Structure 1
Amino acid sequence: MSEFLTTFTSDLKDNLAGFIGVSVTEVKTGMSFASLSVNPNFDPELASAYNLEVVKAKLSAIKALGLASKLDDILITLSDQLHIIDLSENGDYFVYLAVDSSKVNLGMARATLKKYSKDIASKM
């Protein structure tokens, strides 16, 4: 698992323009299994801890509304950054990605994240 996550985080950093940071977190426990940041002032594990509450709230809302829909991702748009929270296929993990919005296209960021995160559930 450790080698997979190291490769996963490095691939995102190397292949995504504007990469700031990423972490992989378990929804049930809030435990972060991997994180990487190119900015020493940005802690993706801390951000994931807060964003776990966002994920849980959205999952609760979906359940309360009786929706049959599955949560794929959550987009948070800041003035200079995009934060994407992508749930694994089985919903057990999420990938939290932060990118510089002036250097990346949202569609490319989502596509690249999906490309590299598709195996999270099966590798964990």
Structure 2
Amino acid sequence: MTKFNLEQLSDIAGFVGAALVDTDSGMALATAGGGSVDLEVAAAGNTEVMRAKRRVASQLNLDDTIEDILITLGKQYHLLRPLQSNEQLFLYVVLDRAKSNLAMARHELKAYESSLDFS
């Protein structure tokens, strides 16, 4: 796992795990936490979700970009956030639904993205 440090995302309320994912390969470039969630498997699977949504948006000729994709489970939130600074990558974050604040988590992910250095 590379120069990307996802550990600071563990400060998000309800944090379970996170991965920085390459959309082309489905590989996790960096991970943090995870618990019972296999972040490598989740990265690959959620790459398909991201590709499908982008394909549908293109077919609908939407003149817009995806800010994030939310998957709500009974006990967890799964957030997929394409990076504005590098469209080939997205952040995948798992939150404990009972302990998290979804609005704050989305805000913190946006702030985290601005701290990433791709040089």
One fold, TM greater than 0.5? yes
Report SS of the residue matched to 2:18. strand
Cα distance in 2 between the residues matched to 1:61 and 1:118: 27
Q: Which has the higher helix share?
A: 1
Structure 1 residues without counterparts, runs of 5 or longer: none
Structure 1 stretches (4+) deviating beyond 6 angstroms?
none
The CA deviation at 1:66 is 0.9
107, 110, 119: which one aligns with 1:111: 107
* Cross-structure match for 1:30: 26
After superposition, the C-alpha distances for 1:51-96 in whole angstroms (9 at most, x for unaligned) are 1000000000011111111111100000111110000113110000
Q: Give the total of aligned pairs.
A: 118
1:79 to 74, 80, 84: 74
Asked whether the 8 Å contact 2:17–2:32 carries over to 1, the reply is yes
2:68–2:81 contact (8 Å) kept in structure 1: yes
CA distance in 2, matches of 1:2, 1:28: 17
How many angstroms apart in 1 are the aligned matches of 2:16 and 2:103?
Answer: 17
TM-score norm. by structure 2 comes to 0.91
RMSD: 1.7
Shift of 1:36: 1.4
- Flag structure 2 segments of 5+ consecutive residues without an equivalent: none
Give the SS at the match of 1:102. coil
Percent identical among aligned pairs is 35
